[in-house]
């Protein structure tokens, strides 16, 4: 991972933009987690819906990862952090 060699200065607008994107990511992840909780409640009430609920839940981790990756990419871009193309995402 390549870090900037000099201090990084952000404008208030850049900070506001990153903060808005962080807020959106938190909101989205919290929504996904709420859906996990709701699915658990549904399964307690209607166990026969397990197949449908399981399929729905299997999609969530990839969507959460995508949200985190999108924010991480923007964060790294703004701060000038580079990745070795051969290294796996953190």
Distance CA 63, CA 32 (A): 8
> Whole domain around residue 40: which residue ranges?
12-79
H-type alpha helices, the chain: 12-45, 50-79
pLDDT tens per residue, range 31-53: 999 999 999 999 999 999 999 99
> Percentage of residues in the chain with pLDDT exceeding 70?
93
- Phi then psi for residue 33, to 5 deg, are -65, -35
**Would you say residue 84 lies in a domain?**
no
Are 43 and 49 in contact, with CB atoms under 8 Å apart?
Answer: yes
- Between the alpha carbon of residue 28 and those of residues 15, 59, 69, 81, 86, the distances in Å are 20, 14, 13, 24, 29
Whether 22 maps to a domain, the answer reads: yes
Q: Does residue 64 belong to any structural domain of this protein?
A: yes
Coil, helix or strand at residue 26? helix
The rounded percent of the chain whose pLDDT value lies above 90 is 87
Residue 88 forms part of a structural domain: no
Confidence of residue 27 (pLDDT cuts 50, 70, 90): very high
Domain for residue 60, yes or no?
yes
Does residue 86 form part of some domain?
no
Torsional class of 80: left (φ above 0), alpha (ψ -120 to 50), beta (otherwise):
left
Domains identified in the chain, total number? 1
2 within a domain of the structure (yes/no): no
The answer on pLDDT for 89 being more than 80 is no
- Would you state the pLDDT for residue 88? 62
Is residue 5, in this structure, part of any structural domain at all? no
Q: What is the pLDDT of residue 90?
A: 59
């Amino acid at each position: 991972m390549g870090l900037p060699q000099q201090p990084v200065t952000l404008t208030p607008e850049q900070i506001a933009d990153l903060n808005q994107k962080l807020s959106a990511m938190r909101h989205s992840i919290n929504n996904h987690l709420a859906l996990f909780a709701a699915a658990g409640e549904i399964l307690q009430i209607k166990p026969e819906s397990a197949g449908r609920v399981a399929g729905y839940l299997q999609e969530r981790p990839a969507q959460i990862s995508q949200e985190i990756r999108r924010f991480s990419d923007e964060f790294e871009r703004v701060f000038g952090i580079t990745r070795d193309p051969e290294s796996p995402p953190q």
